[in-house]
Amino acid sequence: MKDARKLNLEKSLQLLDEARELTPGGMLGIRRPYNFIEGEYPVFIERGYGGHIVDVDGNDYIDMLCSYGPIILGHVEQEIDNAVIEQMQKGFCFSLVQKLQNDLENKLIELIPCAEMAVIAKSGSDVTTMAVRVARSFTGKNKVLRCGYHGWHDWCVENHNGVPDETVSLTIGFEYGEIDDLKSKLEENKNQVACIIITPVGHPLAKDVIVPPEGYLQNVRKLADEYGAVLVFDEIRTGFRAGMGGAGQLYGVVPDLATFGKAMANGYPISALVGKKEVMKVMENEVFISSTFFPNSLEMAASMKCIEILERDNVIENIWDKGQLFLAKLTEIKRKQGAPVTISGIPPMPFITFDKVDDMYKARRKEFYTQTIRHGLFIQPYHHWYICYRHTEKDLEYAIGCIDKAMGYVMEKYPVGKGGKE
């Protein structure tokens, strides 16, 4: 099988050189080139349309990273943009709130099982941190048990540089899918745990198990009650994608608090903390939460229109149907190619993990993503992929073809049991 042709990324790389003189690393965090396959992936995007993105060199890709999750419908959704423009013409940044805040919070309370009250913010990190502060005030305890990625703030960031040891010591990680590990951590920190915060659908970086084992989330709920901890579901990625009411609704488990963001406005920066009234009420007088920009209404208008479209056009059902077929085809590719991989995720959020069967698994992974990007499929080695509403049947068939070709090339180059060095 032939090696796909390397992309022309000349403009992207020129802009990267310029950017590195302007801002540390050229850009922040997960968008830096080393989080992809450096020298193979574009660095600067020019535009998007539907389920596609186009880089500054004119390369067109099927976008299955979907901006790390916010794009639930597609790029450049005219209905949403028009709703934002209409709101813009009224003004959107005031010293007081606009009625649109009530409208959106009413909608969230209607849709999300645990939501008796809601607070609107801007980012996922805003609301996960808000949830922790609320839980600490409500319980009078300080420690946090966490499982998953919850943002960049001091209490949860994986890179502890710049974070005081005293802060780091208050957050303890536990293994996804292993209820005994959570129970032992609760017992070791008895009467000290303010909250258990968990991404209800796991993350590829944490473990190969991404879908919760049967009964797992129900048992997490029971342990939270038993040990007097607030249960927080971090639904930033799963909200309005796993279901309108999130993964909690999908799996029939009601947390005390839940955080939503990403897909709730198809890319506009907004997030929400929702939860039970008795817990949320500490924000009325006891806990201080404030931001100049939290009440800005452009994003609220985008969210209201996005949710309207999700309901009107049965978007969640559509992406689940597409995703089930996509997962089935990934499984067939694995079988056909004899690939040492694990196919995982829920249908709207598929993923492939390269199994550690020998010392070549990293080389296989690198080659796989090199080939898929060269074929025009934009996915990422360390993050869920996503299916959006505007991915057409043709798009997804092409994506499957890219994956099949890439996996075939990988297995030819790095067959299992042949040894070799990475």
Question: In the chain, where are the structural domains located?
Answer: 10-75+314-413, 78-312
Tell me if domain 10-75+314-413 and domain 78-312 are identical in fold. Answer: no
pLDDT bucket at 420, cuts 50 / 70 / 90? very low
**253 residue type, one letter:** V
What are the tens digits of pLDDT across the range 312-324?
Answer: 999 999 999 999 9
In the CATH scheme, what is the code of domain 78-312? 3.40.640.10
Task: Please enumerate in sequence order all residues whose Cβ is within 8 A of that of 180, keeping only pairs 6 or more positions apart, or say none.
Answer: none
3-state secondary structure of 379: coil
**At the top level of CATH, which class does the domain 10-75+314-413 belong to?**
alpha beta
3-state secondary structure of 61: strand
What are the tens digits of pLDDT across the range 170-216?
Answer: 999 999 999 999 999 999 999 999 999 999 998 765 455 478 999 99
**pLDDT beyond 50 at 421:** no
**pTM confidence score:** 0.94
Q: Quickly count helices (H) and strands (E) in the chain.
A: 14, 13
Compute φ and ψ for 50, nearest 5 degrees.
55, -125
Buried b (16+ CB within 10 A) or exposed e, 385-408: bbbbbbbeeebbebbbebbbbbbb
The answer to whether 148 and 199 are in contact (CB under 8 A) is yes
The answer to whether 193 and 141 are in contact (CB under 8 A) is yes
Rounded CA separation 81/33 (Å): 30
**286 residue type, one letter:** E
